[in-house]
Amino acid sequence: MRVMVVEDDENLRVAVAGALRGAGLDVHTAPDIATAGRAFAEHGYACVVYDRMLPDGDAIEDVQRRRGLGWTTPVLFLTARDTVDDRVAGFAHGGDDYLVKPFAVEELVARVLRLCRPTGAARPAVLRHGDLEVDPIRHEVRRGGVLLTLSAREFAVLEYLASRAGQVVTRTDLIEHCWDAGSDPVANVVEAVVKRLRRKLHGPDLIHTVHGHGYRLGTS
């Protein structure tokens, strides 16, 4: 699983990344919010570890903004800000966990692994992005309030993209999550499903191709 560590202290960034790699995770790092944002546009992450105070701003503001756009990636704030108000603010602005510096590396690894493998994690009953609504329970999709007719595969692909709105989802991710285990989809099958989805969704395109990486559901 791929995780991102956003930390401006190089020594700490290297140490945290090393510990997480030792736990079998694929770790990317960034020294600031802007660099992390560029990585988010190209890759999907199972979890993001954010230092609170970064050179280009407070990470909770970035997370709050992304949550408002439908971003669902689990976030752990790693910070020296240790008051009750600070911790409450972290959770209130979209954080899933909060660990105060100094910390035990073993505890950090355990918390990140827990966030990467959520068990029964709650998510909205209806996934909404702009005027798109995806209802996983009823297996219904609406665009601008209009009910659309999708095949089971089209629905599975759209639901997966909607659950990771704003993130890049690779072709491999889609095959692993939207096709039966052991199946061997023919070449370009993902591209064909995405093409049909774009046609059925009408209106401004919500599914964007990130060349060389995959697809991203977003308004721009």
What is the tens place of the pLDDT at every residue in 47-93?
999 998 899 988 999 998 888 887 888 999 988 877 888 888 888 88
pLDDT band at 15 (very low <50, low <70, confident <90, very high): very high
User: Among all chains, which residue has been given the structure tokens 């370009």?
Assistant: 188
Q: What is the pLDDT of residue 120?
A: 47
**Rounded-to-integer distance, Cα 198 and Cα 72, Å:** 23
Q: What is the pLDDT of residue 77?
A: 92
Is the domain 2-116 a CATH 3.10.110.10 member?
Answer: no
Q: How many CA atoms lie within 13 A of 80 on its CB side?
A: 5
Q: Exposed, middle or buried by CB within 10 Å (0-12, 13-18, 19+), for 18? A: exposed
Q: What is the rounded radius of gyration, in angstroms, for the C-alpha atoms of the chain?
A: 18
- Domain residue ranges in the chain: 2-116, 127-217
Q: Which of 103, 95, 100 is nearest to 84 (CA)?
A: 100
CATH class of the domain whose range is 127-217: mainly alpha
Q: Rounded mean pLDDT of the chain?
A: 85
Q: What is the pLDDT of residue 176?
A: 78
Facing residues of 135 across strands?
140
Which residues neighbour 61 within 8 Å (Cβ) at sequence distance 6 or greater?
Answer: 93
Q: What is the pLDDT of residue 181?
A: 54
Q: Which of 74, 118, 82, 75 is nearest to 100 (CA)?
A: 82
147-161 pLDDT, tens digit per residue, is: 999 988 898 899 889
Is pLDDT at 177 greater than 70 in this prediction?
yes
Is 0.75 topped by the overall pTM? no
Task: Provide the pairing of β-strand 75-79 with 26-30.
Answer: unpaired
Which of 29-43, 79-93, 199-213 bottoms out in mean pLDDT, i.e. has the lowest? 79-93
Q: What is the pLDDT of residue 3?
A: 92
User: Among all chains, which residue has been given the structure tokens 């009750």?
Assistant: 84
pLDDT band at 117 (very low <50, low <70, confident <90, very high): confident
Q: What is the pLDDT of residue 89?
A: 84
Q: What is the mean pLDDT of residues 115-142?
A: 76
